[in-house]
Amino acid sequence: MTDSTAVHNHDDGTVAKARKPAPAEKRRRSRRIRDSNVDRVFMIGVYALLLTFLAVVLIPLLHILASSFSSPNAVSSGRVTLWPVEFSVRGYEVAMSNPQVVTGFVNSLIYTSAGTFISLTLTIAIAYPLSRVDFVGAGIITRFVVFTMLFAGGVIPTYLVVQSLGMLDTRWAMILPQAVGVWQVIIARTYLRHSIPSELYEAAEIDGASDLRVLWSVVLPLAKPMLAVIALMYAIYQWNSYFDALLYLRSDDLYPLQLVLRNILILNTEGGTDTTTMMERRQMADLLKYSLIVISTVPVLLIYPFVARHFSKGATLGAVKG
Amino acid sequence: MASGAPITPHPAVGTTARPLQTTRSRTGWQLAKRRMRRRWQLYLLAAVPLIYFLVFKYVPMVNAVIAFKDYSPVVGIWGSPWVGLQHFQAFFDNPAFWRIVRNTFILSAYTLLAAFPIPIILALALNEVRHRFFKRTVQMVTFAPYFISTVIVVSMTILFLSPRIGLANDALGLFGIGSIDFLGNPDYFRHIYVWSDVWQTAGYSAVIYMAALAGIDPTLYESAKVDGASRIQKIIHVDLPGIMPTAAILMILGVGNIMAIGFEKAFLLQNPLNLSHSEIIPTYVYKTGLLNADFSLAAAVGLFNSVINLGLLVGVNFIAKRVFGHGLW
């Protein structure tokens, strides 16, 4: 907030300053018109603002990373800022040897891979017909789907459905109730409609290909970028979700990583089995939190640089074209 | 939105119409029959996801009638006796009612107000920068927190604000301010909730605005340049009007989403000390419904929430259409 006011100060302050030389400069009009003094100071403000944004986002991340590589003692006494103090990987060793964390990690991998596959399949199954302009009833079906974005039965009525299907405390409860995202359907439909030329459908039809065949051999290969974006959206959603587990799962051997993390990081229920002193255990618990944050975030951030560009395309596709 | 739809039907309608006209006789019949069989595959394909929506989205809407019944698991939803608005009455009479509703509304409004302008400012600033590398770096870094899970963001917030080991209190210490127990004080809850949310989502929303800015007609910039507009004037007269439709849509979606997604974060940030400000309708539903197994009361509260949510969405859409000339529908 303070940054935006800082920019305004720059603007206001410079308007007065720039007034004097402005007319003379304008008449001369060299190669560049835009580099007036107002603009130059304005750009300094812009860079200052962006650097502030950068710092605000980066500092917490660097602090977490630095802490995770520091010694338990250094973390507990709050000596770490942005660089590791007394470098150590103790936190990671302890985190990796925690059976709950390992189970959670494996479970999350299962939910993420299976969930993404099912979600992607179902999304394409509805988005492809809706993208065909000659699909009768597309309007009604779209409304049927989009309405669920506006109004929902609620947590309890949904819970009752999951219960009556016998999915409580099973892996299905983590995958099926949230399988299809309306947003993703809209993105997929919009993409297919705009990127597949209708001549291709015509040509395939003349060659005697059925609609399913066209989907499989023409549409899907052409839609790879969009498929990647949507798959990643679902994968990240699955990897990060804990609410469904909180609602539907009872046995802790089914818990996804996020729920395990919540228990350790927020509820502080780390059952220390070490035969160490209270002091040491507390120090270890502090360090463990930082290491766990890094471990659970690394898989997502590792793929992030490769997909960010496509991802933003997907985000804008959904938001702007609705 | 409106511009996308009319463009596509043209070529496709044309192509389906042409073969029909040239082969009108017996072969036309066969073609039509075969085409119906082919469309049948599309319906089959769509059927499975539609069943999904029916089962997991529409059946719960019907199930919501338990809000008007005294639900007993033994006899099921339809066997349970009707009790009218009793559960709603119980909720309204609850001394906690106003506090919870007020918390929900304040948190929503505050989030919206804070989360709305900042991505716009970020996008406008990024749009001015010509250094490719700097621009990309800022974009990549500010976008990243969007991918971090709520559990982790909340954990980071708690660690960051911890009076014992938190960086925030270290920073305050530099100014000679004693350490503050941010999460133990209910007065701080809303600020923590909202600003950690801004931290997480501002970069993502900015990307959407960036795309809108990229879509602005370049001739507008040229004429602005010819008219001798400064960068600030250009932002006010070209950029801002250009992103208005996007802003309106994101605003509407923001309103529609808040009551739905508030649960995760509020629940994680909650502790007995800040409950007076952090208890919101979704967390209350979870606690009464699933922890105390009072299904009907919780469903009534949830339904109340959904109806308000729908009302807000319709209302904001109406206003957006009037003010900006753009709405979601």
Q: What is the pLDDT of residues A188-244, one digit of tens each?
A: 998 888 888 888 888 888 888 888 888 888 889 888 888 888 898 899 889 998 889
Contact A184, A123 (CB under 8 A): yes
Q: Rounded to a whole number, what is the distance in Å from the CA of B252 to chain A's nearest CA?
A: 11
ipTM here:
0.80
Contact A66, A80 (CB under 8 A): yes
Q: Rounded to a whole number, what is the distance in Å from the CA of A273 to chain B's nearest CA?
A: 23
**Cβ-based burial of A103 (10 A; exposed 0-12, middle 13-18, buried ≥19):** middle
pLDDT given for residue B152 in this prediction: 92
Cβ–Cβ below 8 Å for B256 and A150: yes
Q: Would residue A303 count as lying in a domain?
A: yes
Mutate to test the interface with A, among B1, B63, B258, B278 (most CBs of A within 10 A): B63
Which residues in chain B touch residue A304, judged by CB atoms under 8 angstroms apart? 144, 147
Same structural domain, A26 and A118: no
Closest by Cα among B158, B193, B185, B199 to B283: B193
Same structural domain, A140 and A265: yes
Contact A312, B211 (CB under 8 A): yes
Which residues in chain B touch residue A33, judged by CB atoms under 8 angstroms apart? 225, 228
Q: Would residue A83 count as lying in a domain?
A: no
The alpha carbon of A58 is separated from its chain's Cα centroid by a whole number of angstroms, namely 17
Give the number of other CB atoms < 10 A from CB of residue A139. Answer: 10
Point out the least confidently predicted range of A204-213, B35-44, B83-92, B113-122: B35-44
Which CATH number belongs to the domain containing residue A258 in this structure?
Answer: 1.10.3720.10
Give the number of other CB atoms < 10 A from CB of residue B81. Answer: 9
Pseudo-torsion of CA B207, B208, B211, B216, nearest 10°?
A: -130
Residue % of chain B over a pLDDT of 90: 19
Domain that residue A15 falls in: 1-34
- Name, in order, each residue with C-beta under 8 angstroms of B92's C-beta and a sequence gap of 6 or more: none
The span from the CA of B26 to the CA of B29, in Å, is 5
Same structural domain, A143 and A218: yes
Same structural domain, A118 and A236: yes
Of the pLDDT bands very low, low, confident and very high (cuts 50, 70, 90), residue B50 is very high
pLDDT given for residue A183 in this prediction: 86
Which residues in chain B touch residue A73, judged by CB atoms under 8 angstroms apart? none
The stretch B143-160 carries a mean pLDDT of: 90
Same structural domain, A22 and A118: no
The span from the CA of B269 to the CA of B280, in Å, is 12
Cβ–Cβ below 8 Å for A154 and B285: yes
Of the pLDDT bands very low, low, confident and very high (cuts 50, 70, 90), residue B294 is confident
Cβ–Cβ below 8 Å for A63 and B232: no
- Name, in order, each residue with C-beta under 8 angstroms of A296's C-beta and a sequence gap of 6 or more: A257, A258, A261, B149, B152
Residue with the larger pLDDT of the pair A11 and B28: B28
The span from the CA of A266 to the CA of A268, in Å, is 5
Closest by Cα among A248, A237, A229 to A318: A229
Contact B121, A7 (CB under 8 A): no
* B259 pLDDT more than 80: no
Which residues in chain A touch residue B68, judged by CB atoms under 8 angstroms apart? none
Closest by Cα among B184, B167, B203, B199 to B269: B184
Closest by Cα among B108, B98, B131, B61 to B260: B108
Number of domains in chain A: 2
Q: Rounded to a whole number, what is the distance in Å from the CA of A195 to chain B's nearest CA?
A: 10
Residue whose entry in the numeric block shows the structure tokens 């469309």: B39
Q: Count contacts between A and B (CB, < 8 Å).
A: 297
The stretch B56-85 carries a mean pLDDT of: 88
Cβ–Cβ below 8 Å for A56 and B199: yes
Give the number of other CB atoms < 10 A from CB of residue B64. Answer: 24
In chain A, whose CA is at the least distance from the CA of B131? A47
Of the pLDDT bands very low, low, confident and very high (cuts 50, 70, 90), residue B261 is low
- Name, in order, each residue with C-beta under 8 angstroms of A191's C-beta and a sequence gap of 6 or more: A131, A223, A226, A317
Domain ranges in chain B are 35-83, 88-324
Which residues in chain B touch residue A290, judged by CB atoms under 8 angstroms apart? 159
pLDDT given for residue A305 in this prediction: 73
Residue whose entry in the numeric block shows the structure tokens 């119906």: B36
Of the pLDDT bands very low, low, confident and very high (cuts 50, 70, 90), residue B22 is very low
Mutate to test the interface with A, among B22, B78, B159, B285 (most CBs of A within 10 A): B159
pLDDT given for residue B47 in this prediction: 92
Of the pLDDT bands very low, low, confident and very high (cuts 50, 70, 90), residue B96 is confident
Closest by Cα among B40, B9, B34 to A198: B9
Q: State chain B's mean pLDDT as an integer.
A: 82
Closest by Cα among A60, A175, A79, A189 to A124: A189
pLDDT given for residue B167 in this prediction: 83
pLDDT given for residue B1 in this prediction: 36
Same structural domain, A230 and A145: yes
In chain A, whose CA is at the least distance from the CA of B139? A54
Q: Would residue A293 count as lying in a domain?
A: yes
Homologous superfamily of B88-324 in CATH?
MetI-like (1.10.3720.10)
- Name, in order, each residue with C-beta under 8 angstroms of B63's C-beta and a sequence gap of 6 or more: A153, A156, A157, A158, A160, A161, B77, B299
Contact B302, B61 (CB under 8 A): no
Same structural domain, A197 and A269: yes
Give the one of A133, A136, A150 whose C-beta lies nearest to B313's C-beta: A150
Cβ–Cβ below 8 Å for B155 and A304: no
pLDDT given for residue A168 in this prediction: 93
For residue A154, is it left (φ>0), alpha (ψ between -120 and 50) or beta? left
Q: Would residue A24 count as lying in a domain?
A: yes
Cβ–Cβ below 8 Å for B298 and A156: yes
Q: Would residue A30 count as lying in a domain?
A: yes
In chain B, whose CA is at the least distance from the CA of A45? B125
Which residues in chain A touch residue B239, judged by CB atoms under 8 angstroms apart? none
- Name, in order, each residue with C-beta under 8 angstroms of B224's C-beta and a sequence gap of 6 or more: B233, B234, B237, B238
* B13 pLDDT more than 60: no
Which residues in chain B touch residue A194, judged by CB atoms under 8 angstroms apart? 4, 8
Same structural domain, A100 and A187: yes
Residue with the larger pLDDT of the pair B261 and B229: B229
φ and ψ of B275, to 5 deg = -60, -30
Helix or strand (DSSP H, E) at B211: helix B186-214
φ and ψ of B69, to 5 deg = -130, 170
Same structural domain, A133 and A242: yes
Give the one of A135, A265, A290 whose C-beta lies nearest to B42's C-beta: A135
B69 strand-pairing partners: B82
Give the model confidence (pLDDT) of B209-239 as tens digits: 888 888 888 888 888 888 888 888 888 888 9
Give the number of other CB atoms < 10 A from CB of residue A277. Answer: 9
Give the number of other CB atoms < 10 A from CB of residue A105. Answer: 18
Residue with the larger pLDDT of the pair B142 and A320: B142
pLDDT < 50 positions in chain A = 1-22, 24-27, 29-30, 320-322
Which residues in chain A touch residue B286, judged by CB atoms under 8 angstroms apart? 155, 247
Same structural domain, A304 and A168: yes
